[in-house]
Structure 1
Amino acid sequence: MMVHDRYFYDPVAGRYTVDRYLDDLVARYGGIDSVLVWPIYPNIGIDNRNQLDMIEHLPGGKEGVKRMVAEFKAHGVRVLFPVMPWDTGTRDPGRPLPDAVAALMKELGADGVNGDTMTGVPLAFSQAAEKIGYPLAFEPEIAPQEDQLGWNVMSWGYFDYPYANQNPAVHVAKFKWLEPRHMVHVNDRWQRDRADMLQFAFFNGVGIETWESVWGIWNGFTVRDSEALRRIATISRAFPQHLTSRGWEPMTLTRQHGVLASRWPHADSTLYTIVNRNEYGVNGEQLAVPHVAGMRYFDVYHGVELAPRRTTDGQDVLAFDLEGKGFGAVLATGAKDAALDRLLATMRPMSARPLASYDRTWKPLPQRMVEQGASPRSKPAPEGMRTIPAGLFDFRVTGIAVEGINQAGVDVQYPWEDQPRRFHRKTLQVPSFHIDTYPVTNAQYQRFVDASGYLPRDRQNYLRHWQDGRFAPELANRPVVWISLDDARAYARWAGKRLPTSWEWQYAAQGTDGRLYPWGNEWDAGRVPKPETGRDPGPPAPVDAHPGGASPFGVMDLVGNVWQWTDEFSDEHTRAAVLRGGSLYRPQGSHWYFPQAQRLDQHGKFLLMAPSLDRNAFTGFRCVKDVQQ
């Protein structure tokens, strides 16, 4: 779960909405058992806050996060946070990462840790947690080694879904086979049709990573897959002892081509989890099991008792229906109890409607661009602004998010587009406007604060680089940072201005010849501030320190100093801002950090959650003002 999900946090009310988040999942597919709370990538690297800082900078700080974790756990949902071994270029946490992670998880009351990109979470993490008396569940992204299963008690499962030699197959989860208590979460973040994932999970008696917001790109479960998940999760949750049985027999014999089953014995009963890998329905006799006196058989999936056919060789043959790419479950037991009665009563109406009748259409979520409205108009350019003449502008820009390739739903959706996409191009008639020659400085922002008394409701990290409401003298002519998008808009309104659209910013920076940089088509390091590559970078450069970086219209400090706020986009689940210009901060050691966009035909997509997390050390802004015709 991305913390930026608007079902989880309400930025208007300024509060966590755990109930709303969980209620939505219960309604759509029956709810979750654990949640991986993800506040770090893809925004990490916008400044030098490390992965632990970004958890602590969630709304309410550590106390707020503790309350949020407790609320999940009050609903019976376990809570994990990620750890990223590649985060070696931001602020040094001051002690070994395993110790720092264990201490923070204990303080927050979290239950476990997901090891991003890790091939097995190293033993040091488990030892660090045990050393402070707070054992954690560790879950690497990549399959661990067999000798690491003692502490890697969970893992993500990236499966292939084969169909070989006319035989629709299913893989056996190796780590589940070696240690039946090991919990695999079947995962394929970009898969739009999850039918195979769900079948592999049910066959192996493991879980599903119901990952829908993929770095803010919505890849929601279809209605059909949601309903399938509701059914198999209801069954799986009813049989925890069976599904951790050391007597698990995957690929137990079935009687139909393409129908595959796992046998799960426990005490005096046996559960069979069954998948039909064929695209067509398979009805009739499915299983044959040795006859045991007094044994009864229940089609758990359909919620009914089965009448076996006894064979002359002492077999009980069980017949039931399996729809194409569907599921089945049979319980053999001599003792029908109240819990089984309740489960059958639940499953009978739930499974009455075929899965094939549910919509399996996948669609990207539509986005809208947040409209700012016009500013008060001025004919001459106010002091400190440049006038950009009206004209036709070939607006061509690409989003540079690390992941997502060119799938529908990636990046943003401009008003003339029918869905979000990475590549954007439109010839626009841009009216004349005035734009600030330089980004807004600390001195200018101080005048705004003093004159207006502005104080945001969410004050966490607001002007973090100031002391007692004042900036240090050497920062006067440097861009103001540690301000949110709303803080920037508040300044703009006070100044009788507004923030630029992305195409206004680009037009002012690029002119009409499509150049890649404000000064031309070749990168020139002498026209921008020197990059900061250390773990403890200094502040942005003075806004007028590099006059050689001017655009054709004389606009300064556009690239390579601070990112600059422009447009905001939102869909039902995510808000994001388009950032322009890149910054001087370049954390080293990984390509997963927030990528730079100094080129004028590129922009960054920055996920928005709350001002406390959104504010950072290398994002500022400049304003525009509408022209009186």
Structure 2
Amino acid sequence: MSSPHRTTSDVKFSHALTGPYLPPPGKVPGWPFQDMGRWKIDVAGAADEWLTGLREWRREHRLRIGLDDSLYRAPDFAWSQRNFVHALTMVEDLYFFDPETGRYTVDRYLDDLTERFGGVDSVLLWYIYPNIGVDDRGQFDLVHDLPGGLDGLKQVVADFHARGVKVFLPTMPWDHGTREGDAPDWERMADIVAAVGADGINGDTYSGVPRAFHVACEARGRAVVLQPESTAQAGDHILSWNLQSWTKRVPNETIPIVVKLKWVEPRHIVQIENRWSRERWSDLQHAFFNGIGYVAWENVFGFVNRLTDRDAATLRRVAAIQRRFARLLVTDDWIPHDRTLQSGIFSSRWPGKDATLWTLINRCEYGVAGEQIAVAHVDGAAYFDVWNGRAVTPRIADGRAYFGADLEPRGFAALLQLAPGADRGDLDAFLAEMATHAATPLTDLSATWASAQQRLVPVVATKPHGEAPATMVAVPAATFEFAVHGVVIEGYDAEGVDVQYPWEPNARRFHRHRIDIAAFAIDRFPVTNADFKAFIDASGYAPADPHNFLRHWIDGAPAPGSERQPVVWVGIEDARAYAAWAGKRLPREWEWQYAAQGLDGRRYPWGNDWREDAVPPPSLERTMPALADVDAHPEGASPFGVMAMTGHVWQWTDEYRDAHVRAAVVRGGSPYQPHSSHWYFPQGYALDSHGKYLLMAPSKDRSGGIGFRCALDL
């Protein structure tokens, strides 16, 4: 049957095609978004002409971009062509690091992923964003602040390798607002890669990681796989040294798309990244159809977005088939949009020397049963329904084998044709494994998504005082209109973003609640260097992990002239230790805001209009400015006379936890404002805003931009 529509062969593929996807068979001009009649398109009727044109375009395009496949042929990088399930791993994740013991827990992290969706092939260890910019530590400083530094990270990499998992490390080209380094990014990155034995580099926001990173790593004897966040804007020539890449969520079109980079170089494994999605079925179908990977990203910068039970089970089965037949998925012989028999069912054919695999997907929201595809029959061939893990006997007619399967709504199927006499290897064991998974239909599993439930970490009340001590300010009991929103960059206004107050059913960005606050006292000024020195001298306090503890002090004491500056480089644990010694506690966030704002809802402690004389001048320099003395700006006093609430230093308040995330709410903002990118930790001068600061370990959490003040109960 010939298509009544203009085909790809008529239109031809332009060498200027810059998008990440190729138009499907029979698509009318204007793809991908302008036409309204997708259901009219005869994909099967146009497939042969389309495939001919697609192959012609690929041959020409490879010449135009000068594709060099030498790295794809290198044995050291063969693993990248089997790297189908990739996870972005937040180092703050409580499954990855145990803050109680101060130890990395790689096995616990991987055991959880293996149990739920069959595990991962690689991880990207994420230790920079979103906390970067709260002080002047840059991306190459933060890796050294991980617990154990580079030695600790080296052991983490070894732990992943022991489980057969490859490790990527991140680099950010936009980080030019923090303190300047002494070498180009690629040289500094290569030093870290060589020191810890990492396998790859992920280029955050890169649309193609520069070849300089590969050259620098290779010079140190540790060649790596480069993986940009996207390649769509950089030009396809970077395929020669970027062996993997991410692609953002694919269009949810009825007709599945073909990923362009995978078509140009089938050994280039693209991983679909759709971090905010709560339904993964379309992404997983496109991964199955294109023979590409998936970014199993569930802790998104502190927002927990776990796969549903159905999506987890789907990923397990998709990845199992991809890993078992990986050699078939990386050749030029791939035939996308192989002819199928029923509407809404689409297939890719993956031919090999002794076996051919067909991956089928049902794009319909209803189940489709019966014969799905007719393939060229080979006498003596064996056939297997590998999605369900069983041998099958197709109907043979006119030299064709008709494969029947019941595809669930938005479901999957896979047919394997094994040539006569072909070595079955571990096929029987694999089929048994797939049969076990298939025993529970996907439709029996929950597709319901739920946000993570956070809990507020309790604070022990202090001994009640009759009046405020001399260094504190009494704040009377009141019913307070507590209105605040989170300034965290990511997550839009989705359920689960920011924090969940005790009176809320879930975390969300915007909060408003009338709360009865008992009388309390709060420090008139933030705790100073001199105050903290008195605490250490009196108590002998020494943290278990001293890395970065009071790193701005000299020989165990504040630098001369800094005694009245707010103390920084103290973690929330250090601040709590000071408060306990002083018979105080950290303020609840709503107490902090009430003390700063009073009852009239003002925007700043001094009123609604900005006053430059009420705060230290903001700094756009790459290094932290010297902090102002806590009493340097009396014009910034709150209605109760509390000082230095805004613009002096971020201040620790409450901590929230869910199963995977610890985070502290910090208030007040600081004068350090790196300006080369909007990805830095946002400021929060206004009293209706707060920052959410991810917590891992004191060595990394301590910051030159965060101090604290104390409260006690009256």
Instruction: Name the TM-score, length of structure 1 as normaliser.
Output: 0.97
**Aligned equivalent of 1:200, options 286, 290, 294:** 286
**Aligned equivalent of 2:414, options 308, 311, 329:** 329
Deviation at 1:235, TM superposition (A): 1.0
**2:627 partner letter:** P
Determine whether 1:539 maps to 2:629.
no
Deviation at 1:109, TM superposition (A): 0.8
Q: Separation in 2 of the partners of 1:349 and 1:65?
A: 37
Deviation at 1:553, TM superposition (A): 0.6
- What does the per-residue CA deviation read over 1:236-291, in whole Å, with 9 as the maximum and x for residues that have no partner? 11111111122111111111111111111122211111111111121221121222
Map of 1:315 onto structure 2: 400
Counterpart secondary structure, 1:401:
coil
**Aligned equivalent of 1:155, options 230, 240, 245:** 245
Deviation at 1:234, TM superposition (A): 1.1
Determine whether 1:388 maps to 2:459.
no
Stretches of structure 2 lacking an aligned partner (at least 5 in a row): 1-88
Determine whether 1:294 maps to 2:375.
no
Contact map agreement 1:575 1:607 (CA 8 A) in 2? yes
Map of 1:216 onto structure 2: 302
Q: Separation in 1 of the partners of 2:624 and 2:504?
A: 39
Determine whether 1:124 maps to 2:212.
yes
**2:686 partner letter:** R
Which deviates more, 435-444 or 378-387? 378-387
Stretches of structure 1 lacking an aligned partner (at least 5 in a row): none
Contact map agreement 1:388 1:432 (CA 8 A) in 2? yes
Q: Separation in 1 of the partners of 2:243 and 2:156?
A: 24
Contact map agreement 1:537 1:585 (CA 8 A) in 2? yes
Contact map agreement 1:161 1:169 (CA 8 A) in 2? no
Map of 1:34 onto structure 2: 122
Q: Separation in 2 of the partners of 1:426 and 1:317?
A: 63
**Aligned equivalent of 1:181, options 267, 274, 299:** 267
Deviation at 1:159, TM superposition (A): 3.5
Q: Separation in 1 of the partners of 2:360 and 2:670?
A: 54
Map of 1:133 onto structure 2: 221
**2:193 partner letter:** M
Q: Separation in 1 of the partners of 2:455 and 2:666?
A: 17
Contact map agreement 2:250 2:283 (CA 8 A) in 1? no
Contact map agreement 2:655 2:663 (CA 8 A) in 1? yes
Map of 2:696 onto structure 1: 609
Q: Separation in 2 of the partners of 1:196 and 1:492?
A: 52
**Aligned equivalent of 1:145, options 230, 235, 258:** 235
Deviation at 1:232, TM superposition (A): 1.0
Deviation at 1:348, TM superposition (A): 1.1
| Alignment map for 1:393-472 (pairs within 5 Å) | 393-472=480-559
Counterpart secondary structure, 2:712:
strand
C-alpha spacing 1:336/1:344, structure 2 compared with 1 (3 Å): farther
- What does the per-residue CA deviation read over 1:10-32, in whole Å, with 9 as the maximum and x for residues that have no partner? 00011000000000001110000
| Alignment map for 1:56-75 (pairs within 5 Å) | 56-75=144-163
Contact map agreement 2:565 2:630 (CA 8 A) in 1? yes
| Alignment map for 1:69-148 (pairs within 5 Å) | 69-143=157-231, 144-148=234-238
Counterpart secondary structure, 1:177:
helix
**1:332 partner letter:** Q
Determine whether 1:375 maps to 2:462.
yes
Q: Separation in 1 of the partners of 2:136 and 2:391?
A: 61
Counterpart secondary structure, 1:424:
strand
Determine whether 1:231 maps to 2:317.
yes
**1:188 partner letter:** N
Map of 2:596 onto structure 1: 509
Q: Separation in 2 of the partners of 1:323 and 1:496?
A: 63
Contact map agreement 1:385 1:437 (CA 8 A) in 2? yes
Contact map agreement 1:306 1:319 (CA 8 A) in 2? no
Q: Separation in 2 of the partners of 1:87 and 1:584?
A: 18
**1:584 partner letter:** P
Determine whether 1:523 maps to 2:626.
no
Deviation at 1:352, TM superposition (A): 2.0
Q: Separation in 1 of the partners of 2:369 and 2:518?
A: 67
- What does the per-residue CA deviation read over 1:105-141, in whole Å, with 9 as the maximum and x for residues that have no partner? 1111111111111111122222222233321111111
Q: Separation in 2 of the partners of 1:136 and 1:315?
A: 45
Contact map agreement 2:587 2:710 (CA 8 A) in 1? yes
Map of 1:569 onto structure 2: 656
Determine whether 1:245 maps to 2:331.
yes
Map of 1:4 onto structure 2: 92
**2:379 partner letter:** A
Determine whether 1:272 maps to 2:362.
no
Which deviates more, 132-141 or 417-426? 132-141
Deviation at 1:406, TM superposition (A): 1.1
Map of 2:134 onto structure 1: 46
Instruction: Name the TM-score, length of structure 2 as normaliser.
Output: 0.86
Deviation at 1:336, TM superposition (A): 5.0
Counterpart secondary structure, 2:427:
helix
Contact map agreement 2:250 2:272 (CA 8 A) in 1? no
Counterpart secondary structure, 2:541:
coil
Counterpart secondary structure, 2:333:
coil
Q: Separation in 1 of the partners of 2:462 and 2:336?
A: 67
Q: Separation in 1 of the partners of 2:461 and 2:575?
A: 16
Deviation at 1:584, TM superposition (A): 0.7
- What does the per-residue CA deviation read over 1:182-213, in whole Å, with 9 as the maximum and x for residues that have no partner? 01111111000101011111111111100111
Q: Separation in 2 of the partners of 1:416 and 1:286?
A: 52
Q: Separation in 2 of the partners of 1:295 and 1:590?
A: 59
**1:15 partner letter:** R
**2:548 partner letter:** N
Map of 1:14 onto structure 2: 102
Q: Separation in 2 of the partners of 1:92 and 1:269?
A: 55
Map of 1:258 onto structure 2: 344
**1:262 partner letter:** S
Size of the alignment, in residue pairs? 622
Q: Separation in 1 of the partners of 2:485 and 2:364?
A: 41
Q: Separation in 1 of the partners of 2:334 and 2:439?
A: 29
Deviation at 1:316, TM superposition (A): 1.8
Q: Separation in 1 of the partners of 2:636 and 2:282?
A: 53
Q: Separation in 2 of the partners of 1:213 and 1:584?
A: 30
Which deviates more, 482-491 or 421-430? 421-430
- What does the per-residue CA deviation read over 1:282-339, in whole Å, with 9 as the maximum and x for residues that have no partner? 1221121222222111111111112122223x22222222111111111111225231
Q: Separation in 1 of the partners of 2:498 and 2:470?
A: 36
